[in-house]
Amino acid sequence: MGRKVAGYGEPQAGDVVDLLRSLVARPSYGEGLGPEDAVVRFLAARFDARGIPYVIRETGGKAYNLLARTGEGRPSIVLNSHLDTVPPGDPDRWDVPPFAARLADGKVYGRGACDAKASVAAMVVAFERLWTERDHLGGEVILSLVGAEETGGLGTRREIELGLRADAAIVGEPTRLTPHVAHKGRMVIEVTTRGVPVHSSNPDRGINAISKMARLIREFDALHERVRQRRHPLLGNASSAVTRIEGGVAVNVVPGECVLHIDRRLLPGETADEAFQDYKAIVDAVGSELPGPATELRVVHATAPAETAGTALSDVLAEVASEVLGRPVEPAGFSATCDMTYLVNQGGIPTVIFGPGDIALAHEYNEHVAVEELELAAEVYYRVCRAWTKG
């Protein structure tokens, strides 16, 4: 992977591995805010033992966010990563139990090991080093560990609503230690066609909602061919995909309703409102030719794209990462969507995504992260914060 370069203070390489295993061993998956409680309480106890002040956010007695600060003034920087994970899935498909936090072959295995508890562990260890040097920092470092990223970014959105602001931010996600300065947005569109249900022995008496949807699907697929012509130098092409369909109540009943979902990935420069008009135009044109009740169209969810290429933080992070890894590091684009969108678009904070692990392993069985990447990430986080705060 590269070479480790000694930095300011003393890195805690062994500690970051132990910390990650402790985090993985505490399940933190589920809907909404609160499944992160055990992880937040564990980190709070760790900070108590080190005399580090912090703030916890709770809902219904369950903790979901933890914030801590060191240094003061400007320039300021946020270290942000998420404590929640996706569910482990079928435990029989794991080679080791998903919460055993097994260390083997230079890797830590378990649900969340890669996405994104490795980033959390590396940020915590870097922050603790910065805390011991707080009197020598020329600005403020804010550690923001949040919940519900996997289910809509509620934790980060909550902190922004409460006033979280800074001059820069790093979002910890698996990027294989490459700074990612852009990511796609996402919108989910729901289309509903309605017909007249009748007994299938006499289908001509009714109106088939699935057949109506089939007419629309051909046009939605054609739209993808047009959308995919739009490209971004770091993110590739935009896309539109029909991903889910439901219709009918029984084999012997002409369906009276059909519901379709479309996943649209947006590039920087595209907006959800503009993209929605493409689907509306299809429904307006084709729907006017279809029998029965009108087709309905709505946006279920929309997350804006973000891009911060060429900012001061992206330059600093690329320089520090190159130094620590011992090889040139060039910014890239993030294939998924993450809390960067809220920090940039709602918080106005220039943000770069950076962390240990491979996004291809996120949400997979036998998820894991390399120990070497974990240790290097902690060093990079630490050095970037020192450089940013001019310590």
Q: How would you write the pLDDT of the chain (391 residues) with one tens digit per residue? A: 333 333 334 444 569 999 999 999 999 999 999 999 999 999 999 999 999 999 999 999 999 999 999 999 999 999 999 999 999 999 999 999 999 999 999 999 999 999 999 999 999 999 999 999 999 999 999 999 999 999 999 999 999 999 999 999 999 999 999 999 999 999 999 999 999 999 999 999 999 999 999 999 999 999 999 999 999 999 999 999 999 999 999 999 999 999 999 999 999 999 999 999 999 999 999 988 899 999 999 999 999 999 999 999 999 999 999 999 999 999 999 988 899 999 999 999 999 999 999 999 999 999 999 999 999 999 999 999 999 998 5
CA 117 to chain centre: 12
Any idea what the CATH number is for the domain that residue 96 is in? 3.40.630.10
Instruction: For residues 166 and 271, state if they share a domain.
Output: no
Q: Give Cα separations from 61 to 34, 35, 36, 64, 153 (angstroms).
A: 8, 11, 12, 10, 20
- The helix/strand count (H/E) of the chain reads as 9, 18
Q: Are 320 and 377 in contact (CB under 8 A)?
A: no
Domain that holds residue 64: 13-183+305-388
Q: Which amino acid is at 227?
A: V
Instruction: For residues 161 and 190, state if they share a domain.
Output: no
How many whole angstroms separate alpha carbon 178 and alpha carbon 347? Answer: 23
Residue 219 domain-assigned? yes
Last residue of a domain, one of 279, 302, 325: 302
Q: What is the rounded end-to-end Cα distance, in angstroms, of the chain? A: 28
How many whole angstroms separate alpha carbon 235 and alpha carbon 390? Answer: 32
Any idea what the CATH number is for the domain that residue 214 is in? 3.30.70.360
Instruction: For residues 211 and 163, state if they share a domain.
Output: no
Residue 317 domain-assigned? yes
Beta-carbon contacts of residue 131 (< 8 Å; ≥ 6 apart): 50, 52, 68, 70
Instruction: For residues 297 and 324, state if they share a domain.
Output: no
Last residue of a domain, one of 302, 320, 352: 302
Instruction: For residues 79 and 133, state if they share a domain.
Output: yes
pLDDT at 287: 82
Instruction: For residues 282 and 318, state if they share a domain.
Output: no
Residue 221 domain-assigned? yes
Instruction: For residues 336 and 213, state if they share a domain.
Output: no
Instruction: For residues 290 and 204, state if they share a domain.
Output: yes
Q: Are 226 and 232 in contact (CB under 8 A)?
A: no
Residue 264 domain-assigned? yes
Instruction: For residues 112 and 199, state if they share a domain.
Output: no
pLDDT at 391: 55
Beta bridge partners of 108: 103, 369
Phi/psi of residue 321, each to 5°?
-60, -40
Residue 5 domain-assigned? no
Last residue of a domain, one of 248, 270, 302: 302
How many whole angstroms separate alpha carbon 146 and alpha carbon 25? Answer: 18
Residue 208 domain-assigned? yes
Cis peptide leading into 75, omega within 30 of 0?
yes
pLDDT at 53: 98
Residue 3 domain-assigned? no
How many whole angstroms separate alpha carbon 355 and alpha carbon 374? Answer: 8
The single-letter DSSP state of residue 218 is H
pLDDT at 3: 32
pLDDT at 336: 83
How many whole angstroms separate alpha carbon 120 and alpha carbon 313? Answer: 20
Instruction: For residues 66 and 198, state if they share a domain.
Output: no
Q: How many domains does the chain have?
A: 2
Q: What are 267's two structure tokens? A: 């590039």
pTM, rounded to two decimals: 0.89
Instruction: For residues 324 and 177, state if they share a domain.
Output: yes
Q: Are 363 and 352 in contact (CB under 8 A)?
A: no
Residue 135 domain-assigned? yes
How many whole angstroms separate alpha carbon 101 and alpha carbon 371? Answer: 12
Instruction: For residues 191 and 179, state if they share a domain.
Output: no
